[in-house]
Structure 1
């Protein structure tokens, strides 16, 4: 892959990291990367190992976990706060990536991680699909 394409893909990935709660779709992300939607999707998957939608949903679920740990918002409020428009799809994806429902995650104690700096907690609490290796684990 060309270095120029990687720079463009990074621009779109940075946009997803910053604007995860906004209504982002492949055509909008492709425009940010100055690519056609098809080329963008193929290149993104080749570079990052997942689809643009998969990456965006991982960011959204990661943020949802942080909001649910606070415990002051309902699952529905968290769903919309992170940019999801369907509670059913949000709950299904959350359960797929985290291994438990958003309600179960919200209701269990999270005191053990309270003293861990956010930058470290982010690495170890990053949502991964069931069956994938956890970040930092041996291959």
Structure 2
């Protein structure tokens, strides 16, 4: 999923490849990674989308399809959930935000934070 994030997710095919049922694979995946295969894949797609949006040469719609999403609405909703702003706003703000920063550092500091990883303000 990390390498082929733009391909459609086929849990049944993944499960057959490792000799499990789709349900068992999904449960084991969630146990290991803390999220469903679909959620994991969408996070990878959003990470790649963030990189493409920072480049600034593609529209939000083009980025949506480039990362393997087939619905602009679903892409925008998930992007907003993970990043905290819609992709169009991110594109406008981020285009110059990482200028001069090495790509390997920019990737790390701009990585999306899943809801369960976000720190709750006021708690320690």
Give the structure-2-normalised TM-score: 0.86
Deviations 1:84-138 (A, max 9, x none): 000000000000000000000111144342333333322222212346237xxxx
* Structure 1 counterpart of 2:66: 81
* Aligned residues between the structures: 120
Deviations 1:18-37 (A, max 9, x none): 10001122212223333210
1:61 aligns with 2:13: no
1:23 is aligned, of 2, 5, 8, to 8
Give the structure-1-normalised TM-score: 0.77
Relative contact order, higher structure (CA 8 A, sep 6+): 2
Q: Within 5 Å, give how 1:8-47 maps onto structure 2.
A: 16-47=1-32
- Consecutive unaligned residues of structure 2, counting only runs of 5 or more, are none
- Output the CA distance in 2 between the equivalents of 1:29 and 1:122: 28
Please, what is the CA RMSD of the aligned residues? Answer: 1.8
Indicate the structure with greater helix content.
1
Contact 1:99–1:130 (Cα < 8 Å) also in 2: no
1:125 is aligned, of 107, 110, 115, to 110
